[in-house]
Amino acid sequence: MPAIAVHTIGKSILFGEHAVVYGYPAIAVPIPDLQTTVTIFPLIGEKQETIIYEAPDLGTAANLSDLPANHVLGKAVELFKQAYGIQKIPSFRLKINSQIPVASGLGSSASISVGIIKALSQFLGLKLSVQRINELAFELEKLYHGTPSGIDNTVVSYEQSLWFTKGQEPEFLRAPFPFHLLLINSSIPSLTAESVAAVRKERENDPVRVNGLLQEIGDLVIIAKEAFSEGNLVELGKLMVKNHALLQKLHVSLPELDAIVNLALEKGALGAKLCGAGRGGNVIALVREEKVHDLQQTFMAHGYQGIVHTKIQ
């Protein structure tokens, strides 16, 4: 049996992060310019169920039996065994290579979760629907993030811009023409679970204020959906700035993220906001095509590295 390689993509949340955890809608977009590759090499002649996990980017190479009980690959193997009545999995080595920076709000964990599910299903000869891949990947996401909304694994599974409400099927969105986004990394790592927990705590301490902010984000996402579908970039940009201000009030921004947003706006971006969990990670900026190069140069001149340019349809 030859090796199996699958490629999965990154993602960004355009509107509605954090509020989405409490049942409000959010809009997410795929970032195909950032990819994860998951490769499975069958181990022929090894004793039954030898499973080796390699993540060279993180310096990990280990036998699954030596990894923690709640390891994502162990969980994936258990999911397949339970769901499909598999007694013993043939031996294999699984390798992960990813271009997506970890803990930066660009879907690194979702990309790995979806990639592991896709690769294992192929290895086991199962033909799974995208919906089923998404369901299984959501189980892995819970290991990374505790109580995720499911938006990350959904956009990474379907590879399309979408409108997402927790627990519901996604609705796919399409803009009338492609538009350009820049992702600028603050290089401050941030763990989604910690940021979500901080908002939850703040909501417990001050429910009226925090629920009001979450509702405002939810209302804004409804307007953004219309602007997205109409290709109204000026309106989308303004809504991004408003969304960022609401996230600031939820205390998930940082001065470093605000500085990136301000620089993007000063240099002509139509809008900018933090994306994902915040407290670090990336800022996403909506930029007219003719300004993309200038903005990239500006950010590089300010010392930002690994700026990603992507086109959304």
**77 contributes a contact to ligand PMV by CB under 6 A:** no
* Least gap, CB of 15 to ligand PMV (angstroms): 11
Element (H, E) at 75: helix 72-84
Phi, psi of 107 (to 5 degrees): 85, 25
Number of residues that bind ligand PMV (CB under 6 A): 17
- Candidate residues 4, 14, 21, 285; the one interacting with ligand PMV per rule CB under 6 A: 21
Nearer to ligand PMV, 105 or 218 (CB): 105
Nearer to ligand PMV, 30 or 148 (CB): 148
Exactly one of 152, 219, 258, 294 is catalytic; which is it? 152
- Candidate residues 105, 115, 271, 280; the one interacting with ligand PMV per rule CB under 6 A: 105
* Least gap, CB of 303 to ligand PMV (angstroms): 23
- Candidate residues 196, 224, 240, 308; the one interacting with ligand PMV per rule CB under 6 A: 196
Cα of first residue to Cα of last residue in the chain, in angstroms, is 38
Strand partners, 8: 36
By the 8 A CB rule, do 240 and 13 touch?
A: no
Tokens of 152: 């990350």
The one segment of 14-22, 90-98, 232-240, 258-266 that binds ligand PMV by CB under 6 A: 14-22
**20 contributes a contact to ligand PMV by CB under 6 A:** yes
Q: Is 48 exposed, middle or buried (0-12, 13-18, 19+ CB in 10 A)?
A: exposed
By the 8 A CB rule, do 159 and 36 touch?
A: no
Phi, psi of 84 (to 5 degrees): -120, 15
**170 contributes a contact to ligand PMV by CB under 6 A:** no
Number of H helices, E strands in the chain: 9, 11
Element (H, E) at 115: helix 108-123
**276 contributes a contact to ligand PMV by CB under 6 A:** yes
**151 contributes a contact to ligand PMV by CB under 6 A:** yes
152 among known catalytic residues: yes
**214 contributes a contact to ligand PMV by CB under 6 A:** no
- Candidate residues 239, 277, 286, 292; the one interacting with ligand PMV per rule CB under 6 A: 277
Q: Supply the Cα-derived Rg of the chain in whole angstroms.
A: 20
- Choose among 251, 217, 239: nearest CA to 284: 239
- Can you give the binding site for ligand PMV, defined by CB under 6 A? 13, 17-18, 20-21, 105, 107, 145, 148-149, 151-152, 192, 196, 276-277, 281
Show which residues are catalytic.
152
